[in-house]
Amino acid sequence: MLVLTSLGSKALNLDIGIYQGFDVIEINFKVLQGRYVLEADGRIFNAFNKDIVLNITPLRDSVLVQINHRNVGLFKEVALYGRSFVNVFELENKKAGIPLRSYEDDLKIRVTKSKLLIINSIDIERYVAGVVQAESGGSTSNPQFFQVQSVSCRTYALVNVQKHAVDGFHLCDEVHCQYYLGKATLENVIKATLSTSGEVVVDTNDQMINAVFHSNCGGQTVNAQEVWSTSKSYLISQPDSFCHNASKARWEVTLDSAVFVEKLEQYFHYPIHDSLSLDSALHFHQPYRLQYFGAKVPLKLVRKEFGLKSTYFETDIKNGKVRISGKGFGHGIGLCQQGAIEMANRGYTYKSILRYYYPGTHLNLYTSLKYPFIPN
Ligand SMILES: [Zn+2]
Ligand SMILES: [Zn+2]
């Protein structure tokens, strides 16, 4: 059995806010593997194993814990700590209609705004494997790509560990941070995480980088400064010849031209009565990635308002319809997942793929960094 654990003498756990996209008003907890102890408001209760289901609901600003409809108690904060070598539990979220999910390590629950705040406190390596599976488990089975994704997800997690400090956890389980649906089950994913254990991407000063990624860059990545107003030497625009034939390389949207023009004016105060400006909007071309659309509208705003897959698109008009033809999917900054998969399929190693998409960087273990940014 493969068991993922953090490097070094001390385990590095991350607190992940789970079910963040839902209002959770009931959860059922069941042990799948190992032995769990319930600790609530400083009191330690009996250990639980496989046969017991804990029903957990909010009651005013407290957490009500029941077993077989009998009250265990009403608490401010509830924690379920795994006490075995391997600890896995299952959560059932019936009222929100979410399929059963299994998680590893510990669970902490309290009530905020009459809803359950659910935190999975988990070893970083097990979390990374879960993220790699949720983010890209279905897209390939190439182990080199899973290694690429393990290193980038680990680096991203450590660099962004304060993103939810005000919420009382480190990272959420939505794409806002990194998509995470619980325990990794794919052996290729678990092996890839294990084989890169502790590795992070660092710049020339040995500082961990903001290892952002996206689905498909459309053939040219984007300079971070154009989207986020912060420049990074490793997040620069560069051509990518590896993602051209991938599934998300091209897309097309057709809109009624009157609707398109009306929206341009409504969203961006676009000068639609100026014939030159209107013409540049209806016949917009990007031989290489540009920053502005037509009469100086930032492309990132056009993407947002029209709900487009990327900013790398062109327009033309025919029979009263505007055709928007685009390349790529996502913000286009940093690592292009479909390009990285193609590189892996052509035999590039995960280290060379990471160097390609994050130029000027190299790998190091977070445990040997001079200035690691590690959570408490
Ligand atoms: Zn988040
Ligand atoms: Zn690409």
Q: The CATH number of the domain where 58 resides is what?
A: 2.60.200
Res 55 pLDDT > 80: yes
Enter the tokens of residue 256. Answer: 């009624």
How far does the centroid of ligand 2 lie from the alpha carbon of residue 114, in Å?
44
Please report whether residue 233 resides in a domain. Answer: no
Please report whether residue 1 resides in a domain. Answer: no
* 6-15, 109-118, 130-139, 367-376: segment of lowest average pLDDT: 367-376
Cβ distance 77 to 41 under 8 Å? yes
25 and 108 together in one domain = yes
What ligand is nearest to the CA atom of residue 173?
A: 1
How far does the centroid of ligand 1 lie from the alpha carbon of residue 28, in Å?
24
The values of phi and psi at residue 156, to 5°, are -60, -45
Domain with 160 in it:
124-213+339-376
Res 10 pLDDT > 80: no
Tens of pLDDT, residues 228-285: 888 999 999 999 999 999 999 999 999 999 999 999 999 999 999 999 999 999 999 9
How far does the centroid of ligand 1 lie from the alpha carbon of residue 22, in Å?
13
How far does the centroid of ligand 2 lie from the alpha carbon of residue 128, in Å?
23
79 and 105 together in one domain = yes
52 and 104 together in one domain = yes
pLDDT at position 317, please? 95
Q: Which long-range contacts (CB under 8 A, 24 or more apart) does 296-301 make?
A: 297/264, 297/268, 297/270, 300/226, 300/227, 301/267, 301/268
Tens of pLDDT, residues 142-172: 999 999 999 999 999 999 999 999 999 999 9
Give the CA dihedral 232, 233, 236, 238, nearest 10 degrees: -160
How far does the centroid of ligand 1 lie from the alpha carbon of residue 170, in Å?
8
How far does the centroid of ligand 2 lie from the alpha carbon of residue 307, in Å?
20
pLDDT at position 36, please? 94
pLDDT at position 118, please? 98
What ligand is nearest to the CA atom of residue 333?
A: 2
Res 373 pLDDT > 70: no
365 and 279 together in one domain = no
How far does the centroid of ligand 2 lie from the alpha carbon of residue 144, in Å?
17
Domain boundary among 103, 122, 141: 122
54 and 132 together in one domain = no
How far does the centroid of ligand 1 lie from the alpha carbon of residue 131, in Å?
13
What ligand is nearest to the CA atom of residue 328?
A: 2
Please report whether residue 362 resides in a domain. Answer: yes
179 and 102 together in one domain = no
Of 16, 35, 24, 40, the C-alpha closest to 88 is 35
369 and 359 together in one domain = yes
Please report whether residue 239 resides in a domain. Answer: no
Enter the tokens of residue 163. Answer: 């993103």
Res 47 pLDDT > 80: no
118 and 132 together in one domain = no
How far does the centroid of ligand 1 lie from the alpha carbon of residue 68, in Å?
35
How far does the centroid of ligand 1 lie from the alpha carbon of residue 174, in Å?
6
Res 286 pLDDT > 80: yes
Tens of pLDDT, residues 175-222: 999 999 999 999 999 999 999 999 999 999 889 999 999 999 999 999
How far does the centroid of ligand 1 lie from the alpha carbon of residue 16, in Å?
9
pLDDT at position 1, please? 67
118 and 141 together in one domain = no
pLDDT at position 46, please? 77
How far does the centroid of ligand 1 lie from the alpha carbon of residue 164, in Å?
6
Tens of pLDDT, residues 101-130: 999 999 999 999 999 999 999 999 999 999
The total domain count for the chain is 3
Domain boundary among 87, 122, 157: 122
pLDDT level of residue 371 (50, 70, 90 thresholds): low
Mean pLDDT of 55-72: 94
Please report whether residue 60 resides in a domain. Answer: yes
How far does the centroid of ligand 1 lie from the alpha carbon of residue 17, in Å?
8
Question: How many CB atoms lie under 10 A from the CB of residue 32?
Answer: 14
137 and 181 together in one domain = yes
30 and 75 together in one domain = yes
Res 295 pLDDT > 90: no
How far does the centroid of ligand 2 lie from the alpha carbon of residue 248, in Å?
10
Please report whether residue 242 resides in a domain. Answer: no
Res 328 pLDDT > 60: yes
Say which residues have a Cβ less than 8 Å from residue 299's Cβ, sequence separation at least 6: 290, 291, 292, 293, 311
Please report whether residue 3 resides in a domain. Answer: no
Q: Mean of the per-residue pLDDT values for the chain? A: 93
How far does the centroid of ligand 1 lie from the alpha carbon of residue 13, in Å?
17
d(C-alpha 89, C-alpha 307), whole Å:
38
Please report whether residue 221 resides in a domain. Answer: no
Res 139 pLDDT > 90: no
343 and 208 together in one domain = yes
235 to each of 91, 216, 241, 246, how far by Cα in Å?
38, 15, 17, 22
